[in-house]
Amino acid sequence: MAEIGVIIVAGGAGRRMGGALPKQFMMLEQQPILARSINRIHAALPKAEIVVVLPAEHVELWRNMAARFDVARHKIAIGGKERFHSVKSGLAALSEGVRTIAVHDAVRPLASKKLIIRLVLATEKHDAVIPVVAPADSYRTVEGDDSKIIDRSTLRMVQTPQLFRAEALRKAYEQEFSESFTDDASVVEAAGYKVALEEGERENFKITTPLDITLARAIITAEGEM
């Protein structure tokens, strides 16, 4: 039985990307973005149990796509209205015996093997571990016609995969849904657990716009991967 479970959330509509397909199904250098995300996780954690959470209306589409590409073995779970409900569905699909659970965005296909393994190892010391990167830009808060600079040294941009001890994540998801839950770390934090930060990777960005696709292609080319 796998000791590590992975939930890949693939429920986005991709409105900012444009086009007919949600972005997780769009092609990135001859593979669907979702396939790349699954395979990156599998390459780092070959014995992990992987669950992909999809909207019901996209399940058949993905099954047809997955049959045409070399995609690591995975289960499919049906998503819910909010990310919270989709992750909860993914948790129910995972085997009870997993000790560590990772939750990953389907549209972050460039997380490195090194990063994923480093996050897994960090859960030996922490209940929750998330990758973050310091912002490169300056930020301001806006109130009406006024704005104020923010000290960016106090800010971090949050990425996935987010790693949790299974017991902590399952207990956290027994809570009722709240609008304040912006990611899985916020759910766990609300349940009383401390969240540890690990250095993430700038290449591990979320593909949201056509420019992101262009950047991802350049990174894949530089890595010598197709």
Instruction: Give me the residue label for tokens 């991967």.
Output: 225
pLDDT tier at 94 (50, 70, 90 boundaries)? very high
Which tokens is 137 given? 């830009």
Three-state secondary structure call for residue 133 = strand
| pLDDT above 90: residue 13 | no
| pLDDT above 50: residue 14 | no
| pLDDT above 90: residue 19 | no
Spatial CA neighbour of 184 closest among 101, 126, 112 = 101
Give the per-residue pLDDT at 225. Answer: 63
- Mean of the per-residue pLDDT values for the chain? 94
Which tokens is 116 given? 């994923």
Spatial CA neighbour of 194 closest among 134, 99, 126, 103 = 126
Which tokens is 32 given? 């669907």
pLDDT, tens only, 129-151: 999 999 999 999 999 999 999 99
Cβ–Cβ under 8 Å, residues 120 and 4: yes
Burial state string for 122-139 with b = 16 or more CB within 10 A and e = fewer than 16: bbeebbbbbbbbeeeeee
